[in-house]
Amino acid sequence: MRNPATLKKISDHLSVSISTVSRALKDHQDVSPETKRRVKELAEMLDYEPNSFAINLRKKHSDLFAVIVPEISSYFYHSFIEAVEEEARLKGFSIMILQSRNNPELESNNLRLCRYNHVAGVFIAVNNSSENHPAFKKMEDWDIPMVFFDKVPAEGNFNKVCMADEQAGALSAEKIVQKGHQHFIAVMGSPSMSITIGRENGIRTYLSKYAPGVTFDCLYVDHGEKVETLLDRYSNSELQGKLLFSMSDEILCGIIPFLNQRGLKLPADISLLTISNGFLPRLFSPQVCYIETNGNKLGKMAFNRMSEILDGKKVVCERLLDCEYFSGGSM
Amino acid sequence: MRNPATLKKISDHLSVSISTVSRALKDHQDVSPETKRRVKELAEMLDYEPNSFAINLRKKHSDLFAVIVPEISSYFYHSFIEAVEEEARLKGFSIMILQSRNNPELESNNLRLCRYNHVAGVFIAVNNSSENHPAFKKMEDWDIPMVFFDKVPAEGNFNKVCMADEQAGALSAEKIVQKGHQHFIAVMGSPSMSITIGRENGIRTYLSKYAPGVTFDCLYVDHGEKVETLLDRYSNSELQGKLLFSMSDEILCGIIPFLNQRGLKLPADISLLTISNGFLPRLFSPQVCYIETNGNKLGKMAFNRMSEILDGKKVVCERLLDCEYFSGGSM
DNA sequence: CTGAAAGCGCTTACAG
DNA sequence: CTGAAAGCGCTTACAG
């Protein structure tokens, strides 16, 4: 390992003190122009790079944010991460990615890593399964700001940035009712997830208020069960003319092959509405109608919230990202 | 900011020296069991966490790998990142993500960040545009191992881990020839990318060797041009019975809507073969035939190579990931 | 304008 | 079995 240049090395070469070198490199007013010039020139030549460990050891925190997600390659998180990296870079921060793979132990361990590395803040989408409240509390004790996004704890006073799940559910119901359906089939994710609960609540609330006669079957994709298996309970004639509502891209990816395999055509045989970031729905023919969930927008929103906290606006709050309807040809 | 516990704080409470506390916590044999017990108990109580800055300052490098990509949310990189994170975690490392957005300046800056943070190693997919050789060289000077993946520099002696692009091209040509096509249309990415060159070479080499009569139009999607626009030069009757070859998922996503819009059916009106990670091709009906590029596998391969380098096997080499054919119904 | 010194939190060779 | 001391590379209050 080549020895990287240090302030000491530069100071030795130039026969000035380390303090002077340090000051010269940061353009401190106390240093004479001539000294500055000599120091900077040599620093350049020696390929000097400050040492983050030494700097952070004094500052007691790093220029690193952590993003903790169940997994990176989901339909949504990578675009969230992309947006956060972008914003972070513009503000001089970098990001560390940690996956918790729906394993509470890993999640705790990831939070421990955040403490170990004294990150400036944590963006976290929590696991499906249990809620790691003690681990979350510990971050508070360490004064490491946390912004929960997408999958957030149902209980507890935390900073949250989410899709407006209830609104998305209500908007879905509204569109379904408008199309004249008296009954539909909703395919939802795990019933323990906050997003499932929110979206389903949105549907129920809307229906009970504006269309009490409309009913729906509610199927939950849980415990690794496949969408296809769940839907197999219906015969083609039972599905004829019906509407399928899909809670997410993940579920959409189960529904599409199912429809293909059954030979059901959109929208002649069956209608389809999904919640999605919009990428997949636009690839199909006809394009699938969707309510937009935008990972990039949510990432920017989360970053803004984090910036506010770092700037001192610490009062805990919950922000919602409004959703919009895209009209395809699937219903 | 709550003051996190330090060795000093523990040593004060227990009236032992800092050295003893440090040794006790790492189960050093020199320390008496009784002292160990007391130290560990208090450390637990005080929620002690070692300080990575102090540790790394001594070790002179961190437990952090950097992954540098043009962008995270491409069809490929997020699964690569996912695999690297997974492997890294198992070995006690974390990963930092940096995007270079096809901007050479950003790329250099990201490499500077890697030096600043004394990362243990860098995984990098380079920009389309220019090649940043001076910046790459500098990393060598700093003895920071680099593993290039997917988009790699054409020149220079570097560790590379890639799809077998030539092989993928050749395999594609083989399948096309087998289906009896005398002429086809290849839709490729930017001609300056190593993967474009490799894949096209593979096709040409195969054809000149085994099927010299077979010809193809070669279209390049470059400078933000759209696939649809490129293909618009062909009338439906010109396309009838033809085969389209798509170099990547990105291009596939342009071709599919084009076919839908033109009302061309697979495989009756037109055939389609793509190179892909396999996710999208399997969603369509019929499923699109593809040659597999697997981001996860490539990530694991890259990590293995990195591990070898860290273990001392420093001799530069290039590894290729074999590709496989998946038979759908699109040709 | 410049420098010596203390300190961030840790590890480890050395002495006892 | 335990401790005092040096040192990793930097910044900054203090003294001159």
Parallel, antiparallel, or unpaired: how do β-strands B325-326 and B64-69 relate? unpaired
Query: Å between A131 CA and C5 C1'?
Result: 49
pLDDT > 90 fraction of chain B, expressed in percent and rounded: 69
The answer to whether the CB of B168 falls within 8 A of the CB of B199 is: yes
Q: How far apart are CA B157 and CA B147, in angstroms?
A: 11
Amino acid sitting at position B226: K
Query: How far is residue B222 CA from its own chain's centroid?
Result: 21
Query: Å between A143 CA and D15 C1'?
Result: 37
Q: In this predicted model, what pLDDT tens digit does every residue of A274-302 receive, in sequence order? A: 999 999 999 998 999 999 988 999 999 99
Question: CA of A90: how far to CAs of A121, B99, B320, in Å?
Answer: 16, 12, 36
Asked if the Cβ–Cβ distance from B285 to A260 is below 8 Å, we say yes
Q: How far apart are CA B264 and CA A90, in angstroms?
A: 45
Q: List the single best residue of A94, A118, A140, A256 to mutate versus B (max B Cβ within 10 A).
A: A94
The chain A residue lying nearest B58, using CA atoms, is: A53
Q: Which nucleotide C1' is nearest A55 CA?
A: D10
Chain A contacts of B86, Cβ < 8 Å?
99
Asked if the Cβ–Cβ distance from A138 to B81 is below 8 Å, we say no
Instruction: Count the residues in chain A.
Output: 331
| A127 has pLDDT over 70 | yes
DSSP state of A300: H
Give A129's pLDDT tier (boundaries 50, 70, 90). Answer: low
Q: In this predicted model, what pLDDT tens digit does every residue of A180-220 receive, in sequence order? A: 999 999 999 989 888 899 999 999 999 999 999 999 999 99
Strand partners, A160: A148, A318
Q: Cα distance from A74 to chain B (closest Cα, Å)?
A: 9
- Name residues 94-113 of chain A within 8 A of B (Cβ): 94-99, 106, 112-113
The answer to whether the CB of A116 falls within 8 A of the CB of A139 is: no
Query: How far is residue B30 CA from its own chain's centroid?
Result: 46
Asked if the Cβ–Cβ distance from B99 to A116 is below 8 Å, we say no
The answer to whether the CB of A65 falls within 8 A of the CB of A93 is: yes
Chain A contacts of B93, Cβ < 8 Å?
none
Nucleotides of chain D touched by protein CB (<7 A): 1-5, 7-13
| B1 has pLDDT over 70 | no
Chain A contacts of B4, Cβ < 8 Å?
115, 142
Q: Phi first, then psi: what are they for B121, rounded to 5°? A: 180, 165
Query: How far is residue B260 CA from its own chain's centroid?
Result: 31
Q: Please report the beta strands in chain B, taking only residues with DSSP state E, as ranges in sequence order.
A: 64-69, 94-99, 121-124, 146-149, 160-163, 183-188, 215-220, 243-246, 271-276, 289-292, 318-321, 325-326
Is A4 an interface residue toward B (CB < 8 Å)?
yes
The answer to whether the CB of A139 falls within 8 A of the CB of A115 is: yes
Q: In this predicted model, what pLDDT tens digit does every residue of B190-229 receive, in sequence order? A: 898 888 999 999 999 999 999 999 999 999 998 878 999 9
Question: CA of B63: how far to CAs of A56, B3, B55, B56, B120, in Å?
Answer: 15, 24, 11, 8, 6
- pLDDT for res B107: 94
Cross-chain CB nearest to A285 (options B94, B141, B260): B260
Q: How many CA atoms lie within 13 A of B147 on its CB side?
A: 30
What is the DSSP annotation of A79-147? HHHHHHHHHHHHTT-EEEEEE-TT-HHHHHHHHHHHHHTT-SEEEE---SS---HHHHHHHHHTT--EE
- Name residues 121-180 of chain B within 8 A of A (Cβ): 138, 141-143
| B130 has pLDDT over 70 | no
- pLDDT for res B154: 81
Highest mean pLDDT among A156-165, A301-310, B9-18, B128-137: A301-310
Q: How far apart are CA A295 and CA A78, in angstroms?
A: 8
pLDDT > 70 fraction of chain A, expressed in percent and rounded: 98
Asked if the Cβ–Cβ distance from B99 to A86 is below 8 Å, we say yes
- pLDDT for res B282: 93
| A155 has pLDDT over 60 | yes
Give A2's pLDDT tier (boundaries 50, 70, 90). Answer: low
Strand ordering across the sheet containing B318-321: A318-321, A160-163, A146-149, A121-124, A64-69, A94-99, B94-99, B64-69, B121-124, B146-149, B160-163, B318-321
Q: In this predicted model, what pLDDT tens digit does every residue of B276-316 receive, in sequence order? A: 999 999 999 899 999 998 899 999 999 999 999 999 888 99
| A130 has pLDDT over 80 | no
Parallel, antiparallel, or unpaired: how do β-strands A94-99 and B94-99 relate? antiparallel
| B20 has pLDDT over 80 | yes
- Name residues 14-53 of chain A within 8 A of B (Cβ): 47, 49-53
DSSP state of A72: T
- pLDDT for res A1: 47
